[in-house]
Amino acid sequence: MVWFLIYLLNILWTMAGTNTQTRSSCSIPSEQLPWVNDLQVQMENSVTSSDFPNPSVLIAMNLVGAYNLEAQKLLTYELMASDTADLTTGQLALTIMALTSSCRDPGSKMSVLQKQMENWAPSGPSEEATAFYGPSLAIMTLCQKNSETTLPIAVRFAKTLLANSSPFNVDTGAVATLALTCMYNKIPIGSDESYRALFGQVLKAIVENISMSIKDNGIIGNIYSTGLAMQALSVTPVQPKKEWDCEKTMNIILDEIKQGKFQNSMSIAQILPSLRGKTYLDLPQVSCGPDHEVQPTLPNYPNPPPTSASNITVTYTINNQLRGVELLFNVTIDVIVKSGSVLLVVLEEAQRKNDMFKFETTMTSWGPIVSSINNIAENVNHNTYWQFLSGTTPLNEGVADYIPFNNEHITANFTQY
């Protein structure tokens, strides 16, 4: 009798887990597909052994079907070898999702992640929203592995999110939606209805916030949060009041791709699954059968713009009004660089001309982040960082990707988030 009950519960559990929700999704017109194929080729070609192994790239490859099997193998191998102790909670979660989608056993990494989340607590109700980004990835990972043992952790996480009062962040809201949707879909039938109510309530609040971030042109947040937001809106069991036009979003993103806005391989890794109608919640369904290499169709490019040998002048200000009364500075320099150079070249030229402009970078999955200027360094415990602005508008790319124009005024402002 007891065995029969356990058997029955198991079936119900499995049914709850595979309970598929209706999804709003859309697909790319076939004549536009070569652009997406090219994007994928670019991302896969960014995988080299010398680089920082990026789990988000492997996740995207496994979700959409890799072209470059050598790159897939290399990345899997490098992530297997990565040392858990060097990873943050979010990086650990991404690494586990990448490895399991490559059909590798993540080993002890899973229990380390579970422990980290059992001990996780935000600093308080005004903790900034982006502090939930890594923990959301962790809940998503633990949910996909074993939703039953994740339930208490996810309940605490959901309550903390609901109590948080900081300004909304689209990227973080999107990842939190994926995590809580996974939990919502796996609540065992017959279990306490309060779980469904709690996850449903938090999802409702986040999805409303995401839908309020949809611009008239279809962009959700900014172009680099749109990929994650599309994933969130296509899986959520609670629909926003304002309807989302998936087609419109897809079209504007394709336009941005054609304008070369998705060169950074991490930006491709975050948009590609949505372009191919996949989400991180599809990861458990990925099969690792013997893959066959396919030759993608690539676009016929319009002739690349002639590379002009002209120079541009960029005005560059570094401003610290925050740290150390005797250390405050606000200095400006004009530098000349080749037209088409990335902002990093401006910073290097400024540093060469004047020692006050010396700076340091730290490598991340998005590329180099400017961690220190003139000996003033970012500090996670103080929530301080160097923010880059054009005029008074924050840049939405980093220094290794952003290309300044002639007579632009770039400011690096030491500030808090």
Ligand X SMILES: *[C@@H]1O[C@H](CO)[C@@H](O)[C@H](O)[C@H]1NC(C)=O
225 binds ligand B12 (CB under 6 A): yes
Q: Which of ligand X, ligand B12, none is residue 365 near (CB under 5 to 8 Å by kind)?
A: ligand B12
Residues 36, 276 contacting (CB under 8 angstroms): yes
Tokens for 411, please give them.
Answer: 């400011």
Distance CA 267, CA 274 (A): 12
* Binds ligand B12 (CB under 6 A): choice among 386, 410, 411, 414: 386
Token readout for 405 is 């124009």
Is 270 annotated for ligand binding?
Answer: yes
132 binds ligand B12 (CB under 6 A): no
Q: Does 392 bind ligand X (CB under 6 A)?
A: yes
**Cβ closer to ligand B12: 239 or 383?**
383
Number of CB atoms found within 10 A of residue 44's CB:
23
84 part of the interface to ligand B12, by CB under 6 A: no
Among 25, 209, 222, 383, binds ligand X (CB under 6 A): 209
Among 95, 164, 270, 274, which residue interacts with ligand X (rule: CB under 6 A)?
Answer: 164
Question: In terms of C-beta distances under 8 Å and separation of at least 24 residues, what long-range contacts does 114-121 make, across chains too?
Answer: 114/142, 114/149, 114/150, 114/153, 116/89, 116/92, 117/89, 117/142, 117/153, 117/157, 118/153, 120/89, 120/153, 120/157, 121/160
CB of 59 to ligand B12, least distance (A): 12
222 annotated as a binding-site residue: yes
Under the binding rule (CB under 6 A), the answer on residue 88 touching ligand X is no
Shortest Cβ 118–ligand X spacing (Å): 23
Taking CB under 6 A as the binding criterion, the range among 2-10, 63-71, 75-83, 130-138 that sits at the site for ligand B12 is 130-138
In contact, 251 and 384? CB cutoff 8 Å: no
Helices (H), 119-192: 133-145, 147-163, 170-185
| 235, burial (CB in 10 Å: exposed 0-12, middle 13-18, buried 19+) | buried
Rounded to whole angstroms, the Cα distance separating 296 from 312 reads: 38
Give the whole-angstrom CA distance, residue 219 versus residue 271. 12
Residue 316's region, left for phi above 0, alpha for psi from -120 to 50, else beta, is beta
Stated length of the chain:
417
The answer to whether residue 277 forms part of the interface with ligand B12 (CB under 6 A) is no
82 binds, among ligand B12, ligand X, none (CB under 5 to 8 A by kind): none
**Minimum distance between the CB of residue 14 and ligand X, rounded to whole angstroms?**
31
417 is in an annotated binding site: yes
Q: Which entry of ligand B12, ligand X, none binds 309, CB below 5 to 8 A by partner kind?
A: ligand X
Answer yes or no: are the C-beta atoms of 254 and 28 closer than 8 Å.
yes
For 30, other C-beta atoms within 10 Å of its C-beta total 8
| Mask for 335-364, x = binds ligand B12 (CB under 6 A) | -----------------------------x
**Any contact of residue 366 with ligand B12 (CB under 6 A)?**
yes
Q: What burial class does residue 342 get, using C-beta atoms within 10 Å of its C-beta: 0-12 exposed, 13-18 middle, 19+ buried?
A: middle
Stretch that binds ligand X, among 11-19, 91-99, 161-169, 230-238 (CB under 6 A): 161-169
Residue placing its CB nearer to ligand X in the complex, 37 or 339: 339
- In the bound state with ligand X, the residue whose beta carbon lies nearer, of 342 and 389, is 389
Q: How many residues in the shown chain lie near ligand X by CB under 6 A?
A: 24
Structure tokens at 4: 């029969």
String of DSSP letters for 232-274: HHHH-SS--SSPP-HHHHHHHHHHHHHTT---SHHHHHHHHHH
Closest approach of ligand X to the CB of residue 84, in Å: 30
Binding residues for ligand X (CB under 6 A): 161, 164-165, 167-168, 173, 205-206, 209, 309-311, 317, 319, 321-322, 330, 332, 336, 389, 392, 413, 415-416
Binding site listing: 171, 222, 270, 395, 417
Binding site listing for cyanocob(III)alamin: 171, 222, 270, 395, 417
Binding residues for ligand B12 (CB under 6 A): 88, 90-91, 94, 130, 133-134, 169, 171-172, 222, 224-225, 228, 264, 267, 270, 364-370, 380, 385-388, 394-399, 401, 417
